[in-house]
Amino acid sequence: MLRFLLRRVAMIVPTFVAVTFLSFLLIHLVPGDPIEARSGQRGITPERLAELRHEYGLDRPLWRQFVQYEQQVASGDLGTSLVTHQSVWREFLQLFPATVELSICAILFAVVLGLPLGVIAAVRRGTVFDYGLIGVSVIGASMPIFWWGLMAILIFSVTLGWTPVSGRIGDLYYVEPVTGFMLIDCWYSDDPGACTSAARHLVLPAIVLGTIPLAVVARMTRSAMLEVLNEDYIRTARAKGLSEPRVVIVHALRNALIPVVTVIGLMVGTLLSGAILTETIFAWPGVGHWMVESVLRRDYPSVQGGLLLIAAFVMLVNLGVDLTYSFLNPRLRH
């Protein structure tokens, strides 16, 4: 197990270096000079430009610049935003909890609804419910979620007035950011009004972001359950006279869960792609919204740093999924 773990962790290093190389290239593929971009509309004299280029090491050969960039990244320096003049690291860390909170709630929504729906469809295979679920999940998986989000706002916020249109919490409330997770911070602030407001702001974006995962989880649970329900040990369990709910939930679902959990773990990339759109629609102050803003403002250090940090996060989650999976299923270690 230890050897497998070390090998798997060691494999991540070259991938990460390649990722940093890609994000390094990014800045150099952008038309124009970063110094010129930074000097803005007023322009800059050629002498000053040369001076600054030398100061930032932009006149050195590309490979040396890359080595320098690697050293910077290794020491945790991801540069400064051109717009806010804040460290990219700090900006990212301030916004990241909002994205994580939204994503976790979206996944919870997908699992809490998707698992029982998938199980019921598998148990009642071939019924109207089963076909209905297959149909709805195909539609869900094809959903343009930027449109779905706007429709949800139109229906639930504008027409029915159930939820707020945008943001993380009402303007009336101020909650000291301790963890960055609004729900937890509200809980500790002992202000029930703030809690309700935060929860009401979270519901709609979480449902919108959770729609595609819901479709995937429901479909995956259904097919995994169908496979498991045909196994011999299920027949044995039934023959022993166990009640049907016990057979389905304890014996079948437990084994059907393994592929479902893997699919959920590997959905982190899809989820972050969805978060970009969901956060933009709901003005949710997370990293997805921030990345789009940074791209539109041509804030290249932020784009570069954000890209790197998000990729690193995805790699870590994938590593976690791999390790958990191999822990559950020892055959995969070789």
Partner 1 sequence: MSQATTTVTRPESQFWRSFAANRGAVLGLAIMLVLVALAVFASVVAPHAPTEQFRTNFLTPPAWESGGTVRFLLGTDDVGRDILSRLIYGARLSLLIGAAVVGISLGIGTVLGLTAAFAGGLVDVAIVRLMDVVLVFPSLLLAIVIVAILGPGLFNAMLAVAVVMLPSFTRLTRASAMSELARDYVTATRAAGASTLHLMFDTVLPNCLAPLIVQATLGFASAILDAAALGFLGLGAQPPTPEWGTMLAGAMQFYQRAWWVLTFPGLAILVTVLAFNLFGDGLRDALDPKLRR
The contact set with partner 1 (CB under 8 A) reads 14-15, 18-19, 22, 26, 29-31, 135, 138-139, 141-144, 146-148, 150-151, 154, 158, 269-270, 272-274, 276-277, 280, 288, 291-292, 295-296, 298, 303, 307, 310-311, 314-315, 318
Q: How far out from the chain centre does Cα 287 lie?
A: 10
**What is the Cα–Cα distance from 262 to 251, expressed in whole angstroms?**
19
Structure token pair of residue 128: 């109207």
Closest contact distance (angstroms) between CB of 266 and partner 1 is: 10
Q: Where are the alpha helices (H) located in the chain, listed in sequence order? A: 2-29, 34-39, 46-55, 62-74, 88-123, 128-141, 145-152, 182-189, 192-229, 232-239, 244-246, 254-265, 268-282, 287-296, 300-328
Closest contact distance (angstroms) between CB of 65 and partner 1 is: 17
Nearest residue (CB) to partner 1, 150 versus 261:
150
**What is the Cα–Cα distance from 88 to 197, expressed in whole angstroms?**
30
Nearest residue (CB) to partner 1, 88 versus 276:
276
> Is 207 in a helix, a strand, or coil?
helix
Placement of tokens 């909890």 in the chain? 97
DSSP string, 19-41: HHHHHHHHHHHSSS-HHHHHHGG
Q: How far out from the chain centre does Cα 149 lie?
A: 17
CB neighbour class for 245 (10 Å; exposed up to 12, middle 13-18, buried from 19): exposed
